[in-house]
């Protein structure tokens, strides 16, 4: 007769490779059921985007098969995003705020923000995207939406909703073609209103597309809401790297954890399968090394990204199995893993 204790004992030998503790200590095991030689249970991960999901499941199965008399193991993989520093604003609740910045404009910050937000949502997380780029609020065009839903019936402003993503853009608030000249206090209250006056509801991740550089919006956001971590996007050229390292400096000054660097437009795949490093090789990787963070991933140059961005058709939705689509999914999962690690370390250090 297999006992629950025997199953838990087996599972306590299985480590979460990111959090460096075993599944039982991490309270990840639920609903153990035993029916003769058949064992079933749930593993509750800290994010549905866990990049190590497959490994954890395989390790758990192997442990139960080898350490108990079970002949059949049925595992249900689920997830619950947790953070002891969850931002609870009554109607709105944000478990992780992820800021996406860059040194320069045009490096693909909005493309990265949008596609990682969509990839997280596709994995099953509740995700919001806030386009706070006052200089170039491009997210609406990239999603093919240009206005907020009709709000007459609601007390609060409602984000637009598309592909399972809640979206608010500073672009919804201004006339197309009109430059935004908000500065200082006005900008600060605009950022605060984005967070409090919209009905975001309960979100696992709020991804914020920041303006390029190191200015007022970054400061206002950091003062308005605790940010779980920042992602810095760069292309491989030296000029972009120089500016990106200044953005890293600002993140450090604001005491925001740095989740890592995304190297965008890394290379172009030629017809014979070889890679052409149009903007130089490994600029983002060297920057990550230099500042002591991780490279979250590389996105190749993909003409489909430019075209898709113009017609509201993001690559993660349109071509999820292309090289760039797969790169965004991997980057999103690495970001989610960093958020889980940051939350876990906060719990451990009290
Ligand atoms: N990997 C890529 N391959 C091809 N085009 C890209 C790629 N990343 C971004 N682009 C295109 O480059 C332009 C700038 O990207 P965008 O995300 O708007 O940059 P940013 O927000 O940093 O200003 C857009 O037209 C976008 O579609
Ligand atoms: Mg942009």
Q: Where are the beta strands (DSSP E) in 92-178?
A: 92-102, 127-131, 160-162, 165-169
CB of 46 sitting under 6 A from ligand 1: no
Report which bound ligand comes closest to the CA of 297: 1
CB of 235 sitting under 6 A from ligand 1: no
pLDDT one digit per residue (tens) for the chain, 350 residues: 899 999 999 999 999 999 999 999 999 999 999 999 999 999 999 999 999 999 999 999 999 999 999 999 999 999 999 887 888 888 899 999 999 999 999 999 999 999 999 999 999 999 999 999 988 889 999 999 877 666 555 667 889 999 999 999 988 877 666 666 666 778 888 888 899 989 999 999 999 999 999 888 898 999 889 999 999 999 999 999 999 999 999 999 999 999 999 999 999 999 999 999 999 999 999 999 999 999 999 999 999 999 998 999 999 999 999 999 999 999 999 999 999 999 987 666 65
Sole residue written with tokens 């172009």: 268
CB of 311 sitting under 6 A from ligand 1: no
* Cβ-Cβ contacts under 8 Å for 228 (sequence gap 6 or more): 83, 85, 96, 97, 98, 257, 339, 342, 343
Distance of alpha carbon 162 from alpha carbon 159, whole angstroms: 10
φ, ψ (nearest 5 deg) of residue 186: -65, -40
* Cβ-Cβ contacts under 8 Å for 117 (sequence gap 6 or more): 127, 128, 129, 165, 205, 207, 332
Distance 23 CA to ligand 1 centre (A): 40
In angstroms, what CA-CA distances link 8 with 13, 73, 160, 342? 9, 13, 44, 26
CB of 234 sitting under 6 A from ligand 1: no
Residue 350 has a CB neighbour count (10 Å cut-off) of: 5
Of the options 3.90.180.10, 3.30.420.40, 2.40.10.480, 3.40.50.300, the CATH number for the domain spanning 87-348? 3.40.50.300
* Cβ-Cβ contacts under 8 Å for 110 (sequence gap 6 or more): 131, 133, 136, 138, 139, 142, 209, 309
- For the chain, where do the domains classified as CATH 3.30.300.130 start and end? 4-79
Please state the CATH superfamily assignment of the domain spanning residues 4-79 in this structure: Fe-S cluster assembly (FSCA) (3.30.300.130)
pTM listed for this prediction? 0.94
Indicate the top mutation candidate among 306, 311, 315, 322 to test ligand 1's pocket, ranked by most ligand atoms within 8 A of CB. 306
Ligand 1, atom 15, lies closest to the CA of 108
Q: What is the pLDDT of residue 181?
A: 66
CB of 308 sitting under 6 A from ligand 1: no
Distance of alpha carbon 337 from alpha carbon 50, whole angstroms: 6
Q: What is the pLDDT of residue 189?
A: 86
- For the chain, where do the domains classified as CATH 3.40.50.300 start and end? 87-348
H helix or E strand, kind and range, residue 72: strand 72-79
Nearest to 296 by CA among 306, 304, 307, 287: 287
């Amino acid at each position: 007769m297999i006992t629950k204790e025997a199953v838990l004992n087996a599972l306590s030998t299985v480590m979460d490779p990111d959090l460096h503790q075993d599944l039982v200590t991490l309270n990840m095991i639920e609903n153990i059921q035993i029916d003769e030689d058949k064992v079933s249970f749930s593993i509750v991960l800290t994010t549905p985007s866990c990049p190590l999901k497959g490994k954890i499941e395989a390790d758990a199965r192997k442990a139960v098969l080898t350490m108990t008399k079970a002949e059949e193991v049925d595992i249900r993989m689920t997830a619950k995003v947790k953070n002891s520093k969850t931002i609870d604003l009554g109607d709105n609740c944000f478990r992780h705020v992820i800021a996406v910045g860059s040194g320069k404009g045009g490096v693909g910050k909005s493309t990265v923000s949008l596609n990682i937000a969509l990839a997280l949502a596709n994995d099953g997380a509740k995700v919001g995207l806030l386009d706070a780029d006052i200089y170039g609020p491009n997210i609406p065009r990239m999603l093919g939406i240009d206005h907020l839903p009709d709000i007459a019936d609601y007390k609060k402003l409602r984000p637009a909703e598309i592909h399972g993503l809640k979206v608010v853009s500073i672009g919804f608030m201004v006339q197309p073609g009109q430059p935004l000249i908000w500065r200082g206090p006005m900008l600060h209250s605009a950022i605060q209103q984005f967070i409090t006056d919209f009905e975001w509801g309960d979100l696992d991740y709020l991804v914020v597309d920041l303006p390029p550089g190191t200015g007022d919006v970054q400061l206002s956001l950091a003062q308005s809401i605790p940010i779980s971590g920042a992602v810095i996007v760069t292309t491989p050229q030296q000029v972009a790297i120089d500016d990106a390292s200044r953005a890293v400096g600002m993140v450090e000054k604001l005491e925001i954890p740095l989740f890592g660097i995304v190297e965008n437009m890394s290379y172009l795949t030629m017809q014979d399968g070889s890679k052409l490093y149009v903007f130089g090789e490994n600029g983002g990787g060297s920057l990550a090394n230099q500042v002591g963070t991780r490279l979250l991933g590389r996105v190749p140059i993909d003409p489909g990204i430019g075209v898709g961005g113009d017609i509201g058709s993001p690559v993660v939705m349109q071509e999820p199995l292309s090289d760039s689509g797969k790169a965004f999914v991997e980057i999103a999962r690495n970001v989610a893993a960093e958020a889980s690690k940051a939350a876990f370390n906060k719990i451990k250090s009290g």
